[in-house]
Chain A
């Protein structure tokens, strides 16, 4: 069975849930081989094995990690050349898409981004599903040239545990000078909030203009559900919440099991970032807010009254 290369998304060896999802998807179409770049492999190895990685190609070369994505694309291109994989799966993060883009050009291969499903296609190919035009259309597509390179959105598969050998091999690799043109000169880790990461969270609670800058009730409600907190562009532009929490076309694209929009009208740009959520709930004073067209459940009311009451009810139900 052909290998499927999975680029591992991790922070110092702590493997993100998206990688478990990608390894799960990889098993549908071949034999999963992880590609681990950076420090912390000893930590990562167990998780990669648990989700079925048979092999792990790894490098901790600073020449790769200190530079922006181009060396990673070169490394993957070298592995594609060597292993002729059935596909390369990359997380649909900002870096992931950029690596995939360069890899597609380097290997003369078709690229599909933001897949929400990947399956073995009829006749041996690979069939992907994407959600486009702010979630209003579903598209099935295939790659017709080269090695399918696919970036996959978080929450596109339920991670399945299956034991893999995770036999590791250090890759001998030196990036070209051309690939070292963009250098990362500083990197400040995001301040930990204790809440789940936005794009990975099963539940996301977002606040918008209706918060008038006070996110405390949104945060309390989110914490009662163990949810991540997001924000609309209006709230971010007003300086009420950090840009890294923005949900929408120009922010994070989220696809959780439950999305709760609080004081968010539901402009098309916001819908583009959350419309594929499985269940959608809104709280808004304006009964004509477009967000109500999308919801499974909506409360027309003031979030400062509704959210604390719901928070109390949820907290007390947990006893």
Chain B
């Protein structure tokens, strides 16, 4: 079983995230980056599948030099090898562009040894769109079973369970397939000391756009199919009224709600 896990290097959500003034893209220079937390669940699930049988987990990322850290973390957790698509022309790619690059990289990986499963987190923690998995499946011609809170792979069938607004669904697809996972699916492991040492020796390939046959003119900021026209920090909330409960906190709360016509 060969599994490719797509991971993203994102600005730390605990830090003050912003946009770069010059081109209105996400500012990645002034905020520390890390492996998107939601992708750790995909890495963990892939490792569990391979550990229960056989095969390899390849971790794939698209991003600038710093994105190597996202691969490193996944290798420390136990992934077998990494692929980093890094090219100046990628900067500013939207979801459509990113899915183009990921699809081409996965096709190149698959040309060496066929890929049975493509796995991703449910969304990145920066853009939070959650659309790249479906775009990727569309481009690769794969069935997608998304937002999995449980996954079983038996033979050539992947079965997931997921909750949507109205129901809990069971969904099956025949491999090869794409699976995106939620934070309900498992508890990602912390890298062990052994894992950290082993990761240093694991192979990481660096590919340019030319290496994967993607035209630089088809991706990046200028080729994006959407454009950020403006961004503005949300005005700080005016200091709210805070009261201490001295036996009448509930009354005060009810009074506030009454004044503002919520009752």
Contacts and interface: CB of A to CB of B under 8 A. Distances in A.
Given A110-B225, A295-B242, A182 B171 contact: yes
Interface in B147-196: 147, 149, 159, 162-174, 177, 182-184
Which of A112, A182, A257 gathers most chain B CB within 10 Å?
A182
Nearest to A181: B143
A26 to B, nearest CB: 19
B240 A105 contact: no
Interface string A232-273: 010000000011100001100000011000000000110010
Interface in B101-158: 122, 125-135, 137-139, 141-147, 149
A21 B164 CA distance: 20
B81 to A, nearest CB: 27
A138 interface: yes
A274 to B, nearest CB: 13
Contact of B129 (A73, A113, A144): A113
B258 interface: yes
A293 to B, nearest CB: 8
Contacts of A287: 242, 244
A312 B250 contact: yes
A106 B134 CA distance: 11
Given A184-B170, A301-B244, A225 B262 contact: yes
A272 B128 contact: yes
B251 interface: yes
A187 B169 contact: yes
B225 A299 contact: no
Contacts of B244: 287, 299-301
Given A111-B225, A133-B17, A183-B171, 7 more contacts: A101-B132, A138-B232, A145-B225, A225-B263, A283-B253, A299-B253, A309-B254
Interface of A: 11, 68-70, 73, 93-95, 97-102, 104-106, 108-114, 127, 131-146, 178, 181-190, 197, 199, 203, 225, 233, 242-244, 249-250, 257-258, 268-269, 272, 279-281, 283, 287, 292-302, 305-314, 317-318
18 contacts: A68-B146, A93-B164, A105-B138, A111-B131, A133-B126, A137-B19, A138-B234, A181-B144, A182-B144, A182-B145, A233-B183, A243-B163, A268-B14, A283-B253, A295-B240, A296-B240, A300-B249, A309-B254
Interface of B: 13-14, 16-19, 38, 94-96, 99, 122, 125-135, 137-139, 141-147, 149, 159, 162-174, 177, 182-184, 224-234, 237, 240-245, 248-258, 260, 262-263
